[in-house]
Amino acid sequence: MRVSLGDREAFSLLYDATSAKLFGVCLRVLNDRAEAEDTLQEVFVKVWHKADQYKANGYSPMTWLITLTRNTAIDRLRSKKAVNVDIADVHDLSDAAPTPEADAIASSERQRLNNCLNELDADRSDAVRRAYLDGDSYKDLAARYDVPLNTMRTWLRRSLLTLKDCLSR
């Protein structure tokens, strides 16, 4: 009574159905095609090996895949930064990149995060986006907004709590 597919066929279908979105995420975070391709491959190797974890963790399937992809891309970005010390280069790259998320046409449910982010000061919602999509650390953010590290952390934690309040309204 189940889908009569071999694992590999199912895996191939899963790849065909989701790889374009996940590759888009890799490109957005890494801004580098070769790195994005390697990351996408790494993600699907993890999917193949970790699928049994998925079932137990209660995530919706696309969230699980996108989160895995984003985390893998951020890890790669961070290791690249560690080699490249010059964080400013990476920032310049991401500043120059278009921000397609700005033109997102989302359903009302999906708008909720955006609406709640918009309730924060622009700098503060921007910091959350930068951490999520650009892998900025507290150090990066403190430098960008020109505030001490501890202040940055206090800001961001407060923003997260405000955001959470709004999201659970």
Partner 1 sequence: MSQEEDHNDDTALAGEYVLNLLEDDERAAFEARLVAEAALRDRVREWDESLVDLTDGISPVPPPPMVKDRLQATLFPETIRRKRSLWTWLAGSIAAAIIVGFVVLMPSLLQETAYEPTLTASVAAEDGTLVVAAQFIAETKALELVRETGDARPGRVLELWLIAEGSDAPMSLGVLPDDAETRFTLSLDVAQQLTNGVLAISDEPPGGSPTGAPTGDVLAIGPVTSL
110 binds partner 1 (CB under 8 A): yes
120 binds partner 1 (CB under 8 A): no
Among 30, 66, 120, 142, binds partner 1 (CB under 8 A): 66
79 binds partner 1 (CB under 8 A): no
31 binds partner 1 (CB under 8 A): no
Rounded CA separation 17/156 (Å): 35
Contacts 24+ apart (CB under 8 A), 161-168: 162/119, 162/120, 163/116, 163/117, 163/120, 163/128, 166/115, 166/116, 166/119, 167/112, 167/113, 167/116
Site for partner 1 in 85-104 (CB under 8 A): 99-104
Among 93, 97, 106, 123, binds partner 1 (CB under 8 A): 106
Binders of partner 1: how many residues, by CB under 8 A?
Answer: 82
Site for partner 1 in 137-156 (CB under 8 A): 137-138, 153, 156
Site for partner 1 in 33-62 (CB under 8 A): 36-37, 40-41, 44-45, 47-48, 51-52, 54-55, 57-62
Contacts 24+ apart (CB under 8 A), 67-72: 68/43, 69/22, 69/25, 69/26, 69/39, 69/40, 69/43, 70/25, 70/29, 70/132, 70/133, 72/39, 72/42, 72/43, 72/46
CB of 86 to partner 1, least distance (A): 20
10 binds partner 1 (CB under 8 A): yes
